[in-house]
Structure 1
Amino acid sequence: MGIFVKNATLSVSISLTALQTVGFWAPEGLTETQRCLYRWFGVFSFMFMLGSYIFIQVVDLFMIWGDLPLMTGAAFLLFTNLAQATKIVNIMVRKQRIQNIVNDSDKVLTEVQTFEEKEIVKSCNREMIVLQVVYFSLTLITGLGWATSAEKHQLPLRAWYPYDTSKSPAYELTYVHQIGALLIAAFLNVGKDTLVAALTAQCRCRLRLLGLSLRNLDKGLDTEDKFMLTPDQEKTVSSRLRLCVVQHQETLQAAKELQECFSEPTFAQLTVSLIIICVTAFQLSMTQPDNMVRLLSMGTYLLNMTFQVFIYCYQGNQLTEESFEIAGAAYECLWYKFSLRLRRALLIVMVRTRRALRLTAGGFTTLSLTSFMAIIKASYSLFTLLQQVNEESHLDPEQQFVDHTGSRLSSHLRQHSLTMGFIVDNANNSLRVCLTLLKVVGFLTPPQTGVYSFFLWVYCFASFMFLVGGIIIAQTGAMFQIWGDLALMTSASFLLFTNLAFALKIINVVVRRRQIQAMIDDADDDLVAEDREEGRDIIKRYDASKSPAYELTYFNQSSSVMVASMVNTCLDVMVASIIAVCRCRLGLVGLSLRRLCEGIPVIGKDLLTSDEEKTVQFRLRQCVIKHEAALKSTRLIQQCFSYPILAQFTVSAVIICVTAYQLAMELNNGNRVRSIPMASYLLCMMLQVYIYCYQGNQLTEESYEISGAAYECPWYKCSLRMQRSLLIVMLRTRRAVQLTAGGFMTLSLSCFTSIIKASYTFFTVLKQVEDRNPK
């Protein structure tokens, strides 16, 4: 391989050449010694451009902690470098998979022959070159502006160094390092971003080529005065349609590989860009108007970051639009002159395109122009918040210091085949742990009769009162005593609400234990077949400050909190694990659909033989049975856990809000030690919501994949009867499997972000109430 990496798309060539030059894209054909030297060269490049600079910026950030203008001045470039480091590591780790995507697309785009196909490839190339030039120009102006805007004996960018940078030659050397590393890293960042955008554009180009082929299915055939195609023409069209289906399947696989390779780095970039746009706008608003060079460079940097988000969202949006156009392209051919068999095949293609091809950022948001606008709006909201904090930072508002501790993990429940043994046996390890613990505390015990059943109920009630019942009564009494004091109420309420949600989940599991047990047994069978201070502000009916009442109460609170936290975690993990098992079952159905023709020689055949058809038909029936069983399990999950999840989400939104409020009070009081468990509790509550939403989101995605799995098998070589059966399966998957929280909201990552937004809204309301009612 030469210095310049060749590719059908010039922007891909430029990006890969830049990566190869700095040591992040190893050329093919290197010896082991050359590969080792190249790796060390990549490490040196990384440390020169990013590694050393990230370290000194982090140190500087700690040294200026508390000064908001200085912190934002140091943070915006630090976050940029962190995001770029993430993308570099991703490219180096997944280099081979990305190389396969590049080679596959390059092969398709270089083999185009007709004038129309070449024009499609050229238009894709021109579009990406325009985007790359604009991005490069904004980056160059920003870098040069920073290089020339520094005052005398001042560095262009804030950073901490273990030496005096105001003296020569340290100043000159550090200045050159900052500008050199900044420009190289900036241009490299352009290369990485445009690489992802260009690969997405190549997928779009392949979809456009596919659409052209579908429109030209009957091209060159004399069909002008014919009512139906002749048998020879039918064979020609059938052969062309098969090539289109194979091309479509390969393009869908390429898009799937893009999603798997770049989803997480794209999410990191969009998250960081949201913050960077905010703090850059804040820095721009504080820049002195007499420093026009600095003002211009900050303005172009703001545009640069905005454009960076735009190219991701634009290409993702256009990819979705092009995937929709496939159905229209199939409709534009002379399908009304085709035989019933060809019409059925075209219908399968059109049904598959009903589910749009979408790229997501970590599964949280789809890359679209709507997402771009949402990111800009969120950045503006954070910008206004920074301005408010900066204006109020000179004031000394009174803060109430409230003693409360405890951090209680809230999660949901799980279960399986309950045996008389101590350890519950289950194919899923997380379920095994959760069910065993729930069995020990008496909430999911084996079925018993007579006196043993009575004792089990007594033990279950005693566990409930020890873990949560007594504490709820005490905390409710404390709430009535402090009613009207906002600070004390939030201090007491967040654990009270946690306990109430916990109690509801326990009651749900105890009442529906037999249904839950049957559901877990069914899924397990399927998978096995497949292969000195009071801890909290609560009221007691005795003086808890004297011995031995203090020690006994302290022990009761500490032990009940720890055990209840573990049980609560098991409850949440149990539900999440049951959903994950359903995902697994749907994944197995998809795998079976892709392997319908496994072991059957289909190459060189127009149709399967009758015996081969029977084999495929039997396999398809088994897939349908498994699919129906998995759908039944999801309905049972919805029936058993829908309302407890709604209660948990409602309570979690309030808990996240009041915990953030209490955390802010602790930080304002300077109590950093106490802030650590509060921050941990806040993260714990967010994670509790996340595991539900994540598993529900992935379940929906797996249900959609069934249609794609059916499309990926060589269905075009099956009989009309088999194609009709596959079409029924694909039509069923148009209605996604969704779990809801009481029917109000779907468990998805969008739901998770909505809950966090709602909690933030409640938090701002609490702050406003506090500001209007100072003590």
Structure 2
Amino acid sequence: MAKERRTIEPNFHLRVSLSIIYFLGTWPPHASKYRILYRLYTVCSFIFLLGILLAAEIANVFANWGDMSKILAFATILMTNSIHASKVIVLLCRQERIQTLLDIANGPAFSRHDKKYQDLLMRYTWKGIFHHAAYQSFGAIAVFCWGITPITDLIAGRSRQLPMDGWYPYNVTRTPVFEITAAHQGIAIIIACFHNVALDTLVTGLITVACCQLAILERNIISIDNEKSMQSDKDQSFNLVEGKILSYRQLKQCAVHSNMIFLFTREIQDIFSTIIFFQFLSNCIIICLIAYNVTQMKVYIPAVLIGLVTYMCCMTYQIFIFCWHGNELHLHSVRIATAAYSSNWFSNTKRFTRSLQIMMIRAHRPFTLSAGNIMLLSLDTFVEILRMSYSIFTVLQGSTI
């Protein structure tokens, strides 16, 4: 593992998410002669992955208007696709601002290629890859179980059923339209799953970059003047005056670095805050609806049951990664104040200590991210959302008794 950590590229987790987004048509290249063709590909990709499914699901709502049990049965996938479509719109409309964040994350200001911080850069890159893999695993199992529903029905001798409910202007039980529609739904939900996970991990990956930079800032603050004091013990000719001046310059660099991280996190907040809030709101409803649908099943088909349970786990993990990363950002920023105490401040100048106090005062207002400026991204929020989902589930369960 140590060898792998030395060879992996810093911020590789961001490149993984961007590659998926690019190849699925939602990251148009800048200043390219193929930009217009790529835009056409974007439209076709969106229609194939989400447009047709959303149209069929919305039409199905009107076709079953008044039958609440049927609407609740397919409302989960409708909300998931609606939020997914909203993310795509946000990504396309704010691509330049997101690209600026990526340029900062991969630029010299964030010490991406500084060997002194290689261990921190590798550690946080592996964290980003781990969350992407875990999140993708839940989603892949769920959509695979849905995608093979027509095959399992055929093997078990049951009536034909599409992977997802929807209204189509033709008889979907006939051959070959059933096979074509089922193939489209199966392929579309699998590819859309990879795309949706990539969109979420792009956001959490940027938060991971901010956490990594806070860890680098913490190390830099601790090391101020400590290295020079060790050198002075070995070399009595070391100029202490120049050392104090250098320490003050290092502190100024730390202050500039801290301000850059703050602006970086504020931009993440401004770009993604609203869509994260609607993601939390929809997932809260989706989790309780899935639990309700499972309790209402009269015939437990293994593929469908496994798909629903893993889909619920996927929706839960989707909330968790946002809350966990927001919580980590808060904890990392709090540690900056403690790092100030660990530096060699007591043997430095008054100007240095006053400046350090200012940084400590700023650190006592930790960096936080919120969903729609309503709820903080924290583990406490994650628990509250699960409690709310359970409360809605008990209300639905009680209404059917």
Same fold, TM exceeding 0.5? yes
Cα deviation, residue 289, structure 1: 5.6
Aligned pairs for 1:737-748 within 5 A: none
Distance 1:84 1:8 in 2: 28
The equivalent residue for 2:207 is 200
Determine if contact 2:21/2:27 at 8 Å carries over to the other structure: yes
Determine if contact 1:147/1:179 at 8 Å carries over to the other structure: yes
Cα deviation, residue 148, structure 1: 2.2
**Cα deviation digits, residues 69-114 of structure 1 (max 9, x gap):** 3111110000000111111100100000000101101122423221
Q: Of the candidates 221, 233, 246, which is equivalent to residue 236 of structure 1?
A: 246
**Cα deviation digits, residues 408-451 of structure 1 (max 9, x gap):** xxxxxxxxxxxxxxxxxxxxxxxxxxxxxxxxxxxxxxxxxxxx
Aligned pairs for 1:381-530 within 5 A: 381-391=391-401
Q: Of the candidates 20, 24, 29, which is equivalent to residue 22 of structure 2?
A: 20
Distance 1:245 1:290 in 2: 60
Q: For 1:186, give the aligned amino acid.
A: C
Pairing 1:175–2:182 present: yes
Distance 1:252 1:290 in 2: 51
Determine if contact 1:8/1:109 at 8 Å carries over to the other structure: no
The equivalent residue for 1:155 is 162
Query: The residue matched to 1:221 in structure 2 has which SS?
Result: helix
Q: Of the candidates 312, 319, 325, which is equivalent to residue 322 of structure 2?
A: 312
Query: The residue matched to 1:220 in structure 2 has which SS?
Result: helix
Q: Of the candidates 375, 382, 388, which is equivalent to residue 372 of structure 1?
A: 382
Distance 1:77 1:290 in 2: 19
**Cα deviation digits, residues 553-580 of structure 1 (max 9, x gap):** xxxxxxxxxxxxxxxxxxxxxxxxxxxx
The equivalent residue for 1:164 is 171
Gaps of 5+ in 1: 1-5, 392-775
Pairing 1:299–2:309 present: yes
The equivalent residue for 1:265 is 275
Determine if contact 2:56/2:166 at 8 Å carries over to the other structure: yes
The equivalent residue for 1:51 is 51
Determine if contact 2:290/2:312 at 8 Å carries over to the other structure: yes
The equivalent residue for 1:726 is none
Q: Of the candidates 256, 261, 267, which is equivalent to residue 251 of structure 1?
A: 261
The equivalent residue for 1:355 is 365
Pairing 1:83–2:83 present: yes
Determine if contact 2:323/2:381 at 8 Å carries over to the other structure: yes
The equivalent residue for 1:282 is 292
Distance 1:217 1:8 in 2: 25
Two-structure CA RMSD over aligned residues (Å): 1.7
Determine if contact 1:289/1:295 at 8 Å carries over to the other structure: no
Cα deviation, residue 219, structure 1: 3.9
Aligned pairs for 1:530-679 within 5 A: none
Determine if contact 2:369/2:376 at 8 Å carries over to the other structure: yes
Distance 1:80 1:55 in 2: 14
Structure 1 pair 109–379 and aligned structure 2 pair: CA distance change class (3 A)? farther
Distance 2:229 2:318 in 1: 50
Cα deviation, residue 222, structure 1: 3.1
Aligned pairs for 1:721-732 within 5 A: none
Q: For 2:178, give the aligned amino acid.
A: Y
Query: The residue matched to 2:173 in structure 1 has which SS?
Result: coil
**Cα deviation digits, residues 95-136 of structure 1 (max 9, x gap):** 00000101101122423221xx11111111111111111111
The equivalent residue for 1:68 is 68
**Cα deviation digits, residues 474-527 of structure 1 (max 9, x gap):** xxxxxxxxxxxxxxxxxxxxxxxxxxxxxxxxxxxxxxxxxxxxxxxxxxxxxx
**Cα deviation digits, residues 745-769 of structure 1 (max 9, x gap):** xxxxxxxxxxxxxxxxxxxxxxxxx
**Cα deviation digits, residues 220-279 of structure 1 (max 9, x gap):** 3135769xx921110110111111111111111100100011001111111111111111
Q: For 1:258, give the aligned amino acid.
A: I
The equivalent residue for 1:97 is 97
Distance 2:222 2:210 in 1: 19
Q: For 1:113, give the aligned amino acid.
A: K
Distance 2:52 2:69 in 1: 23
Cα deviation, residue 196, structure 1: 0.5
Gaps of 5+ in 2: 1-7, 154-158
Pairing 1:214–2:224 present: no
Pairing 1:321–2:331 present: yes
Q: TM-score, normalised by structure 2?
A: 0.92
**Cα deviation digits, residues 712-737 of structure 1 (max 9, x gap):** xxxxxxxxxxxxxxxxxxxxxxxxxx
Runs of 4+ in 1 over 4 A off after TM superposition: 223-226
Cα deviation, residue 358, structure 1: 0.6
**Cα deviation digits, residues 305-330 of structure 1 (max 9, x gap):** 00000000000000011011111111
Structure having the higher Rg: 1
Aligned pairs for 1:100-115 within 5 A: 100-107=100-107, 108-114=110-116
Cα deviation, residue 390, structure 1: 2.4
**Cα deviation digits, residues 358-415 of structure 1 (max 9, x gap):** 1010011000000000110011111111112223xxxxxxxxxxxxxxxxxxxxxxxx
Determine if contact 1:7/1:106 at 8 Å carries over to the other structure: no
Structure 1 pair 300–324 and aligned structure 2 pair: CA distance change class (3 A)? same
Cα deviation, residue 13, structure 1: 0.7
Determine if contact 1:68/1:390 at 8 Å carries over to the other structure: no
Distance 1:363 1:65 in 2: 34
Structure 1 pair 289–134 and aligned structure 2 pair: CA distance change class (3 A)? farther
Q: Of the candidates 8, 11, 15, which is equivalent to residue 9 of structure 1?
A: 11
The equivalent residue for 1:35 is 35
Determine if contact 2:147/2:190 at 8 Å carries over to the other structure: no
Distance 2:135 2:111 in 1: 25
More helix by share: 2
Structure 1 pair 179–109 and aligned structure 2 pair: CA distance change class (3 A)? farther
Distance 1:293 1:100 in 2: 43
Q: Of the candidates 336, 346, 350, which is equivalent to residue 336 of structure 1?
A: 346
Aligned residues: 381
* Identical pairs, percent: 31
Determine if contact 1:24/1:42 at 8 Å carries over to the other structure: yes
Determine if contact 2:148/2:186 at 8 Å carries over to the other structure: no
Structure 1 pair 290–260 and aligned structure 2 pair: CA distance change class (3 A)? closer
Cα deviation, residue 47, structure 1: 1.0
Determine if contact 1:136/1:187 at 8 Å carries over to the other structure: yes
